[in-house]
Amino acid sequence: PVTQGDAPAGARWSGWRLMRRKQTVRHIAFGEGDVAARGATSRTGEPFAAPLHIPQHGLAVALRRALVGSPLVTLVADSRVVALEQDADGVTVRTRGTGGNWWRGSHVVGCDGPRSTVRKLIGVRFPGRSGLERHAVAALRAELPHPGEALLHRSPPWRGASPEIAARPLPDGAWRLDWLLPAAGDLVTPDALVARVRETLAGWCGGETPPYELLDTGVYTVHHRLARSWRVDRAFLAGDAAHLVGAVGTQGLDEGLRDVRNLAWKLAAAARGEAGPGLLDSYQAERLGAVSARLRAADQSLPILRGGGLLRELVPGTARGHESLLSDAH
């Protein structure tokens, strides 16, 4: 397990703000830590706690550190799966690389990303839609008008602005800025991205670009895909190997962690001989169903959210209960 000392640093949000042009349309103040938020309740009547935003790279480092320290795990670097065979008693996997070998186990879980070799070897299709959205992102340090608050700004009033800009607090006074781009637009050059940073900061800070430190930049494209099956005999799929999500508030890494939480204890029970006949089958029934519902909700919301019509308020993290289909999980 990941101990408190291994846990990555995160940023507790003090609030969430939705703006349209120059006006604040919605504002939610969160409580400190796990304390309930003031004046905000979900559909179930539960108060909102402050979301904790953890950078993905920090979580990956913490998880790898925990694996290295576990006597139950053998890490084999610089290796790739090239063959997979199943029989009535278990699974045999062949890897090629510095640790090339044949490996034998009771089950195998393919968590090897959107181009999953395991998925291909077990013959599972991966249909879906490509290029749904395109985003430019930047991590930077700067003093913004609402410290600690996440911001979703739709239709910013300055010329040339993206139709939607998001700002999320990160640890150590940093921010992640996210701009929605045209799905089939031009290549975003480094100079163009810096220009977006400067005009956005100026738009939020009274017309003058404040001092800032640019930490990282990038451009990514959102795809929605869902594996037809998440289990073939003793082989399972999880994470990006099983699904690609990412539009209108859905989070691929979050879904992968939910997959692991659902499957891990079931595999452990099977290894101990304590699993009933339907326990391992329940992984696909529960997780594929939940992700499928979330993808349908995102696909149905996209024309409304991106078409300039009705505005939906999507609150990330623990406050995402406004959209049950986008937040339901097992």
| pLDDT value for 87 | 97
Residue among 85, 156, 122 nearest 229 (CA): 122
| DSSP conformation letters of 115-183 | T-HHHHHTT----EEEEEEEEEEEEEEE--SSTTEEEEEES-SSTT--SEEEEEE-GGGEEEEEEEE-T
| pLDDT value for 115 | 96
CB atoms < 10 A from the CB of 291, how many? 25
pTM for the structure as a whole: 0.80
| pLDDT value for 150 | 93
What integer is the mean pLDDT of 30-56? 63
The pLDDT confidence band at residue 2, using thresholds 50, 70 and 90, is low
Q: How confident is the model over 219-266, as pLDDT tens digits?
A: 988 888 999 999 999 999 999 999 998 765 557 788 999 999 999 999
Residue among 178, 284, 189 nearest 233 (CA): 284
**pLDDT at position 311 over 70:** no
What integer is the mean pLDDT of 314-328? 38
| pLDDT value for 7 | 62
- 296 to each of 6, 60, 162, how far by Cα in Å? 36, 29, 25
User: Which residues are within 8 A (CB) of 29 and not within 5 positions of it... i.e. 6 or more apart?
Assistant: 14, 15, 37, 38, 39, 40
Q: Which domains, ranges and CATH numbers included, belong to the chain? A: 17-28+132-223 (3.30.9.10), 103-129+225-327 (3.50.50.60)
* Amino acid at site 316: P
Largest distance between two CA atoms of the chain? 68
The pLDDT confidence band at residue 319, using thresholds 50, 70 and 90, is very low
